[in-house]
Amino acid sequence: MLFPQHSHDHSRSARRRLAVLSATTATALGLAVLAAPSADADHGARHQGSGHHSTGHHHGSRPTYRDARLPTKARVADLLGRMTLAEKIGQMAQAERADIDADTSQITSLGLGSVLSGGGSVPGSNTPEAWANMVDRYQRAALQTRLGIPLLYGVDSVHGHGNLDGATIFPHNIGLGASRDARLVKKIGHITAIETRASGPQWAFAPCICVARDDRWGRTYESFGEDPRLVRRMETVIDGLQGRKGQLDRPDHVLATAKHYAGDGLTSYRDTPTDPNDYPIDQGVDEVSHAEFARLALSPYPDAVRKHHIGSVMPSFSSVDWTEDGLGNPIKMSANRELITGVLKHALGFQGLVISDWRAIHQLPGTYADQVEASVNAGIDMFMEPFSGDPVGYPQFISTLTQLVNTGAVPMSRINDAVRRILTVKFKLGLFEHPYTDRSLMDTIGSRAHRAVARRAVAESQVLLTNKRRTLPLSKRAPVYVAGGSANSMGNQAGGWTLTWQGSPAGVIPGTTILGGIQQATNAPVTFSQDASAPVPADANGVVVVGETPYAEGPGDVAGPSWAPNGVQTMQLSAADRAAIDTVCSQAATCTVLVVSGRPIILPPEVVDEVDSLVASWLPGSEGQGVADVLFGREPFTGRLPVTWPRTLDQEPINVGDAARGKSYDPLFPYGWGLTTRRR
């Protein structure tokens, strides 16, 4: 057992570390000081309920757990008492759809609790009907088990139901953070829930409530911003996904997931990772004090749990190294009992389920048995072990955990706690009464009304950084010359987690590109030349749309792997985009540059000097008309920076509040910056 202090070891040193952490967390978050869980609580019920069948019934032969009129707690207790150890452990396993699609009997034989779609894992026909049919087919297999426990299906709906072709694709979180519009974000969460559940999945692996502190991180765009206060403000998205009080059994709500717990936005950048398979910053180590960790990493979670009633939490791939106590032993979150069981479940009182990230426990040291033991005892309830063998996956997880329980390495009380949480979620979702997809809202997927909300979100997310000579808003009477690699690229403006995990510059989804939005917004002639090789009219308003190609975690890190599907990311303008800016700005009457990116891009001083208007457009998603709305004054610019915009890459990490902590803070544009305009 490699992580005894994070499983069920209650030595004096382990209790001391937990007490220190709890006291620090209490000070920073206003929590009650947490006492270490007692050994008796973990060991006393090791074999309780391992195969006991309850005799409790209600109204004759009808099992209590089948009676929807009874409280959820009573139904869960009855069902849990009927389950064998094999049935319980099966509920803790989550498989990837690609591995069970051809043989759904695995769902029945193993009693799997959940199935997910990874990024780009879709049915053969990527339509709402095909999705619903697929999920229902898996559900039929689950209902054939002895107790008929329904399946929970999860998907990464991180900016809309991005895996589904035709879904409404909203701006990524960094753009929503720029809007500062908590009511709008709640509405976006609700639409995302509608479109997700109407196509089958009942569980969204969203939102990310991390506080991104280093823009070189490839997941920066999944964060609402660098200030924990802004992140907490945007947590209304949880209410939209789940309903204000967790009305999960309705067809317009899904189970939400707060991720990644905790500290994935605080990892230290590594210019030369020790392992060539490691990324420079993703899945790394938080080298911060207890106080900083509590202030930045933990602070979004009390509201998520207590105010917004989040139903599930996903631990991070990252590790925590408590530098101030000199342990020098980074602990992966997947094995961090102090933070998962101690802080999240005990101090914060989280009652939902904890789901591991994609094969995350494989990053723990030791044998597979060591990895399973450490993570289960740390407090993880369900395990995303997606494959049937790679070389290990969900079948091996089930057999391994069964052996660990039989040998006493994992107490039965830990299994019962995990399964109780999983069953509670399933009852609250109404899956026992309505296991199959409610398709009544399927026609609203990608509807005009939903896309109108996305268009509004795009407009509110645009941040006007400079506006010399009041260039913006543009006149609708003057000709427009459009250039740049992202002007007519739906893939670039949608970014990662769109149809596929990493996204693609060539990706096409229903919607309007920024060029299309400009063409619709004006009656004047519009010339498009991506590389600015076409002649530039001297009386034209030039609009150059530049930025990043799509990426997601890992390959999105600055100086990430050479095999990155869309190229190594640099946070710098490409040579082609830089040339287009120079050409247009030197010849057009006015020159506006839009930066389409998941984070700030380094802008050389000469570029800033030659540009009249500079706009941070972020990753707007499917509705490029929202960008045109503010360019031409249909809507005013109101967005404000959710992150600090650095002058040079060497300034990273740079964040609001640095000056107060004795660090240099001299950005190109500070956190919260954003000019405003009036409607025309």
Question: Which positions ≥6 away from 557 have C-beta within 8 Å?
Answer: 216, 217, 218, 279, 280, 281, 282, 569
Q: Are 418 and 404 in contact (CB under 8 A)?
A: no
Measured between alpha carbons, how far is residue 449 from residues 191, 438, 545 in Å?
A: 10, 20, 27
Alpha-carbon gap, residue 527 to 366, rounded angstroms: 61
Helix 448-461 and helix 182-197, axial crossing angle in degrees, nearest 10: 140
CA distance readout (Å), 513 to 221, 485, 517, 623, 625: 20, 12, 6, 7, 7
The pair of structure tokens assigned to 198 is 């109407």
Can you tell me the distance from the alpha carbon of 115 to that of 111, in angstroms, rounded to the nearest whole number? 11
> What SS3 state is found at 15?
helix
**C-alpha dihedral, 281 to 282 to 287 to 288, nearest 10°:** 110
Other Cβ atoms less than 10 A from the Cβ of 349: the count is 12
Residue 153 forms beta bridges with which residues? 115
DSSP string for 452-485: HHHHHHHHHH-EEEEEGGG-PSPPSSS-EEEEST
Report the catalytic residues.
357, 553
- Residue of 90, 164, 116, 102 whose CA lies nearest to 386: 116
Q: Cis peptide leading into 123, omega within 30 of 0?
A: no
Amino acid in position 198: A
Cα–Cα dist 191/163, whole Å = 15
**CA torsion angle 535 536 539 545 (round to 10):** 150
CB 115 within 8 A of CB 138: yes
Place of tokens 């490029």: 624
Cα separation, 668 vs 671, whole angstroms: 10
Indicate the SS3 state at residue 149. coil
Nearest to 597 by CA among 657, 643, 530: 643
Residue among 566, 629, 635, 551 at smallest CA distance from 597: 551
Do residues 21 and 290 make contact, with C-beta atoms less than 8 angstroms apart?
Answer: yes
What tokens were used for 311?
Answer: 């139903």
Question: Do residues 625 and 520 lie in contact, with contact meaning Cβ atoms separated by under 8 Å?
Answer: yes
